[in-house]
Structure 1
């Protein structure tokens, strides 16, 4: 009888301790630093940033009544965050007639 109780206690303690084991954490994929330019398709990134800049340009024109000389003047518009930087190999130009920002490959 004592042997049965001892075996039962050993079995309970073994299974109870196994329940507390945590699975190994999943590996985390490395991420680019916060200030780094996004990797991938630069043309798509340039067009996306130009779209945001066009919205900022339209708000700038509505507030100031004029088209800015260059993209850096859009920094006063904070609705959409900071003025995005062009990806490598691109520059942003302002089309004053259509009031749009375009990404131009250098």
Structure 2
């Protein structure tokens, strides 16, 4: 199981190679998306420095590997309690006898948008 999760995470970092096969239409769409003010992220002032990315952003699904069993347990929790748990620890105490081990540098998080339990980077 750990090997499968490790392999899945290793494959997540691949990027599409740009090459002559890209069509002009695709390039135009990328340029349009890059210049769209709704898509652009505002610059951070130098005085504030770099901040770590937020994982629980409202309206944006978390980027991570879904854990099917814990997601099913989370949906049972929501059905019984009528709400999402405050955090993963509240859910784990209520619904899990034990929590599976994770690779170093990862943690479980509840995605409030999709109502799934995902393995995300710390």
TM-score (norm 1): 0.48
Higher relative contact order (CA 8 A, sep 6+): 2
Greater percentage in helix: 1
* TM-score (norm: length of structure 2): 0.43
